[in-house]
Each structure stands twice: as structure tokens, then as C-alpha cells.
Amino acid sequence: MNAVLPIEAAERWSREAIADLFDLPFTELVFRAAETHRTHHAPNEVQRSTLLSIKTGGCPEDCGYCNQSAKHGTDLKASKLMDVRAVLQAAAQAKDNGSTRFCMGAAWRNPKDRDMPAIVQMVQGVRQMGMETCMTLGMLTPDQARQLADAGLDYYNHNIDTSPEYYAEVITTRSFEERLDTLDNVRSAGINVCSGGIVGMGETRGDRVGFIHALANLPTPPESVPINALVPVKGTPLGDMLADTPLAKIDDIEFVRTVAVARIAMPRSMVRLSAGRESMSDATQALCFIAGANSIFTGDKLLTTGNAGDDKDAALFAKLGIVAMAAEQHPVCGAKA
């Protein structure tokens, strides 16, 4: 089969080209992804990031995978925005444990203006520790994005979740286009974009093609692309629907394929293994690293779901000969140095 490449002048991928990548023999696909990865990144370095829920539960959105939605019957107890000092203490501990990026997430549809001063203090405090900062707060207005940029925010996370065609099967309270609007506001403010999604939500491979196609063909592809495997949570629509349907769970080989295609389609991006990693074998994670994943969330929890802990990750890194990426080695693209 001939090499599958985007149109070089525009650096744009067609759906057909991305589908052709997915259809490659597995070993050929992983080999090509590894070659792409080594062209743009150090092959044995993986970034360690920590994610903290700074405001949990009570979200008015109806995302079918999320136990933080007020519309779903989960046991999660809602909480208010954390105190700035408590957030900075958690960031300092994450740094001591080897993380170089600290990500803060709030279960909001969008932040209120009254919340912005505390959010700004969190960003400034974490940056003073020498860590990269990332926030995920829901939709942002242009003015809110500028406030975060002025505070020194490095990355803003706003996932597109899935393909444009499958999106309405997962979320009805916010449109796919509204997500793109927030990404535009973030990019216009000079903040790096972190955007990815979730696989294993009952979507088809065609939807995974559409998901990567949408990300790769943004005006500028995201600097950071988190890829999550659905963790079915009891009480959520998708969790209840898929819990007793084992065949709906994305298999490990298809997950690695998705990572590999994302790496080839977005060669300069950081590709992060996110939710679902705690149930993956060491061998599956190793294949993901070979296929171009070079970032993980570490720690015992991702917002409200479990995650592989620091000790387990350290043991895996030692087994594979992987080196934790230092903050100053990470190429930050965008307005800030």
C-alpha cells in the first residue's frame, strides 16, 4: 500500500486518508507512527501531568459519560470551588512526585465572572512553582480567555469528545460548534490548545476517523491531544448502557490504532493517555508509547475516577526505560515563552 500523507501545502487530512491509516496492518501502522514520533519528539521521554478537580459535581450539562452532571443519578457529591491555598498545596505535592504540568478542572458549563479572580490566582501560583499550567472550566468568553492568558495560562483543555456526527448521541446541552467557538477564543488569546476526546462510547471506527479528522483539521492542530478510554460509571447514561455490553468496550489493539493515527495526523502534538489507563496492561501502555503517546496523567485519581498511581507509573517507566520529561524540555507553542 502506498504511503498515506496529507496535502503538504495545507497540512490537511481527508477522512479517506485517515481511514486508510486505520486500515493499515497493525504493525505497519505502529511502525509509521513510531517513525513520525521520532522525527518530532524524543522517543523515550514521557511527560507526567497531574489533574485536580478544583470544583466537583453539580454541572448542568448532560454529557452521557460524566458522573459530575447534575442530571444523572450518581452518588457523587457536589462541592464548591476549592480554596486557592489548597490548590497550590496540591500542585506542590504533584511537583514533588515528578509532575511537570498541573491541570485544574471545574465542573461548570462556563465560569462565572466572580470565579475568575480565584482562578487567576491559581494559575499564577502554579506557574511560580515552575510548572506548566492547564485549566478546563467549560466554555469561555473571549474576555475570560484573555484574563487567563494575562495570568500566564499555558494550556486550556476543551475536548471535542467524539466525531461531529456522533456528538449528539453523547451530549445535547452544548453543541459541537460551541466547543469549537471556545477553542477559537482560547487560540485567539494566545493560549495553547489541549483538545481530544473519549473512545469506547459505542461509536464506530468511522466516528474515530471523524474525531481525529476534526482535531487534525482545526486551523492549528491542538498542541496537546488527550485520548481517553471510556470508564463506565454507574448512574450515567453511557455507563449504564455499556456496563453489561462487554463488546462495546474498545479493545486494546483498536485503542493503540487510535493513538497511532492521532500521532501521524498530528505529528507535533503531545498525545496523552488519559482516562482508562488504570485498567490497561503494561504491554498495552508500552504499545501506546511506541505508537507515539508521550504524555500521561499520573496520580491516584483523574477528577473523579481512578487512575494508576505514582508508584505504579514509576515502576512502569523503569521497566520500559522511559525517562520522565523535564518541564524545560517540553516545546510550548503559542504566544508565551
Catalytic residue (one of 59, 257, 263, 277): 59
- Does 38 participate in catalysis according to the annotation? no
The dihedrals phi and psi of 243, each to the nearest 5 degrees, come to -60, -40
Q: DSSP states of 67-109 as a string?
A: TTBTTS---PPP-PPPPHHHHHHHHHHHHHTT-SEEEEEE--S
Residue of 63, 174, 179, 263 with catalytic role? 63
Q: Clarify whether 103 is annotated catalytic.
A: yes
CA pair distance 225, 271, nearest whole angstrom: 5
Give CA–CA dist 177/160, Å, rounded.
9
CB 321 within 8 A of CB 64: no
For residue 137, CA distances in Å to 52, 96, 132, 271, 335 come to: 12, 25, 17, 21, 21
Residue of 48, 66, 187, 208 marked active site: 66
Question: What are 1's three cell numbers?
Answer: 500500500
66 catalytic? Reply is yes
Known catalytic residue at 63: yes
- The reply to whether 59 belongs to the active site is yes
Indicate which residue of 103, 174, 257, 277 is catalytic: 103
Helices vs strands, H then E, count in the chain = 11, 12
Catalytic residue among 174, 187, 272, 277: 272
Q: E-strand spans in 188-304?
A: 192-194, 197-199, 224-229, 270-273, 295-298, 301-302
Active-site choice (32, 48, 127, 134): 134
Which residue among the candidates 32, 48, 179, 194 is catalytic per the annotation?
194
Active site residues: 59, 63, 66, 103, 134, 194, 272
